[in-house]
Structure 1
Amino acid sequence: MQQDAVIIGGGFAGLSAAYILARARRHVTIIDSGTPRNRFAAHSHGVLALDGKSGLEILADARAQLTAYPTVTFVEGEAHAAEGTIDDFHIGVTGHGSIAARRLLLASGIEDRLPDIPGLAERWGKTVLHCPYCHGYEIGGGPIGVLATHPMSAHQATVVADWGDVTLFTNAMPEPDEATLALLERRNVSLQPGAVSMIETGTCDRLRVRLENGRTFDVKALFVAADLHLRGTIAQSLGCELQDTPAGKILTTDAIKATSIPGVYAAGDNARAFGNITLVSADGVMAGLGMHQSLMFTAHS
């Protein structure tokens, strides 16, 4: 049976879109690999009425609620291919064959690719963090590090300075320009030159940042802006337009989250430069509305 919509990605954006379509009594299939981006964090913060609840628990509750809608189907697996045009898309799912759909939502998110520094990846989402708005309050002040990974890292350090005493580890990147140095000084951010060689366990459960020159610094947390990479290659194979951001490429969408390819929509971290649960959920709602409006006003509605 051809679906009204297939949603690739069962995270916050994908499930939010599914709610809209399900309540419009549209047949929708959600393809979910079960690996949301925020699975490394034990708690989510800044989510209205859900502060401190784990992201995985929020998603589990949403899935349970969506199963009450008879037109919603979940498929566990990876979408590995998609082809076709508006009203006639075919999505290949590993172990499940092909699913036909009139509309397609790309909500599979992005992958965070961290610098290849020993000790960094295993602490990701715990004491190695990406967003002070999500995790800064719980640090409780004190020494905080920011690891330079691209030209916007200095800006990140000036923001993180509201949550503690910040050291920007330049990690052998070029020194910021004079205007940025003046801003860092005004925000009381210390610069520490030299390449970082390792992240270790320091005293009092802190992180120890070790430089190649042997110097070490203990911090309560280390913020890192990871390189963003779209998950999978479906967007590229469909020909969707991409745009550059300081951290990586994302999908180009309009106000209703439609991509450059008719009938294909995108929502979530793969279609915005900065995201959190609230923002990507809102994107999913908008994509659901956009797809429903598109389905309504076509010949096959």
Structure 2
Amino acid sequence: MTDNNENNENNEKYEVVVVGGGAAGLSAALVLGRARRRTLVVDAGEPRNAPSAHMQGFLSRDGMSPARFLAAGREEIERYGVELVRDRAVEAVRDADGEFDVTLAGGRTVHARQLVVATGLKDELPAVPGLAERFGRDVLHCPYCHGWEVRDQAFGVLATTPLSVHQALMVTQWSKDVTLFLHRTGEDELNDDDLRRLAAAGVHVVPGEVTGIVVEADRLTGVRLADGTTHTREALFVAPRAVPRTDLLRQLGAELSETPFGAYPVVDERGLTTVRGLWAAGNASGFAEQVINAASRGYRTGAAINGELLFTDLDAAVATGSAARGFAAAGQGACVRSF
């Protein structure tokens, strides 16, 4: 009979723990489950695209709701024995063997030979009243995600970063009625190239701080400035501040690289960080990972981890001589044929 404490301890050991149950994490888990790896997904239930009614640009899944997409992914990984727990990973430490102990908010600690961080990022919107409530509906950030749905409407672009001019120019592919609201950006901060391109694209530039939006009958109808004027608009594009969820990566000493969109881990083409056995996928590894890209990165990471575990175990067997002994035993009594 197995001691209950021993059984519980064994049950907390996994070959791979994936922190994050979005597209990247579920994709990695799917590959690992199909590779017969004991895998746990820890999902805090905070997907970045939760405010959006639909996701776009994912071949064969275009227009599917994010919630339905993730539900389908959870069903798929379950088929292959992958476990999923709704919890938050709050701490991770590396032990003397280079493996990982992950503590969850609920008090549980799980052990992993390999750890995948797929915790994504959080969007922080400018402090303009009304933006958060409309985000993902008619306050938007990505024309590739939402441009088709609001095509040919009156667009506004709220300047929040030096890249807002680029955003205003990009959205002209979906509407020729575009207004760039400089907000707290001074007109003198636009260089000559910016001004020439904005003029060539037909973008109207409006100085002045934006203090709110106008909503009528549950639809955005305008943008209000500090001077009291209101500009009629039907969709407002804004670039949120991206905040990568990198707490676990920092705790474990992974090298991070500063970018205009925040600090992200240095990873190789497979997703391996500078800490052996620690991987990053999806928006935890970069700002521009759309859902389809995140799923692809997760797949690649899952396959790489399976190979890493396989050859680690084979090399250990070779080092101890168990492989050679097994080969010799298997050959005893076998018929040797001469050709």
TM-score normalised by the chain length of structure 1: 0.95
Q: Compute the displacement of 1:247 (Å).
A: 2.5
Amino acid at match of 1:79: A
Are 2:257 and 1:243 aligned? yes
**AA in 2 matched with 1:162:** Q
Q: Distance in 2 between matches of 1:274 and 1:44?
A: 15
Structure 1 SS opposite 2:147:
helix
Q: Residues of 2 paired with 1:214 and 1:76: CA distance?
A: 47
The 3-state SS of whatever aligns with 1:115 is coil
Residue in 2 aligned with 1:81?
A: 91
Q: Distance in 2 between matches of 1:223 and 1:252?
A: 30
Name the residue aligned to 1:117: 128
Q: 2: distance between equivalents of 1:105 and 1:170?
A: 40
Matched, 1:263 2:277: yes
Asked if structure 1 preserves the Cα contact closer than 8 Å seen for 2:32 and 2:39, the reply is yes
- 1:289 maps to 303
CA distance in 1, matches of 2:246, 2:267: 18
Name the count of aligned residue pairs. 300
Moved more, 135-144 or 105-114: 135-144
Contact kept in structure 1, 2:246 and 2:264, CA below 8 Å? no
Corresponding residue of 1:280: 294
Q: CA deviation at 1:34?
A: 1.2
Match of 2:182 among 153, 170, 192: 170
> The residue matched to 2:272 in structure 1 has which SS?
coil
Cα offsets for 1:253-278 (capped at 9, x unmatched): 11001111111000111212312111
- Determine the structure 2 residue equivalent to 1:184: 198
Using the alignment, how far apart are the partners of 2:305 and 2:98 within structure 1? 11
Residue in structure 2 matched with residue 22 of structure 1 by the alignment: 33
Taking the TM superposition and a 5 Å limit, the aligned residue runs for 1:164-243 are: 164=175, 165-174=177-186, 175-202=189-216, 205-231=219-245, 233-243=247-257
Distance 1:224 1:285 in 2: 31
Identify the match of residue 126 of structure 1 among 137, 143, 148: 137
Query: How many Å apart are 1:202 and its aligned residue?
Result: 4.8
Q: Gaps spanning 5+ residues in structure 1: where?
A: none
Alpha-carbon offset, residue 203 of structure 1: 8.0
Q: Distance in 2 between matches of 1:201 and 1:64?
A: 39
TM-score, structure 2 normalization: 0.85
Correspondence for 1:34 among 21, 38, 45? 45
Q: Which runs of 5+ in 2 are unaligned?
A: 1-9, 318-339
In the aligned structure 2, how far is the partner of 1:297 from the partner of 1:105? 18
Contact 2:160/2:184 (<8 A) preserved:
no
1:206 to partner: Cα distance: 3.1
Question: Structure 2 CA distance, aligned partners of 1:247 and 1:256?
Answer: 21
* Larger strand fraction of residues: 1
The alpha carbon displacement at 1:251 in A equals 2.1
Q: CA deviation at 1:87?
A: 4.6
For 2:195, the aligned partner's letter is L
Residue 105, structure 1, aligned to residue 116, structure 2: yes
CA RMSD of aligned residues (A): 1.6
**1:51 CA displacement:** 1.4
Most deviating of 238-247 and 161-170: 238-247
Contact 2:242 2:287 in 1 (8 A): no
- Which residue matches 2:312? 298
Residue 46 (structure 1) shift = 1.1
Distance 1:160 1:29, change over 3 A: same
Q: 2:78 matched to which residue of 1?
A: 67
d(CA) in 1 for partners of 2:248, 2:129: 32
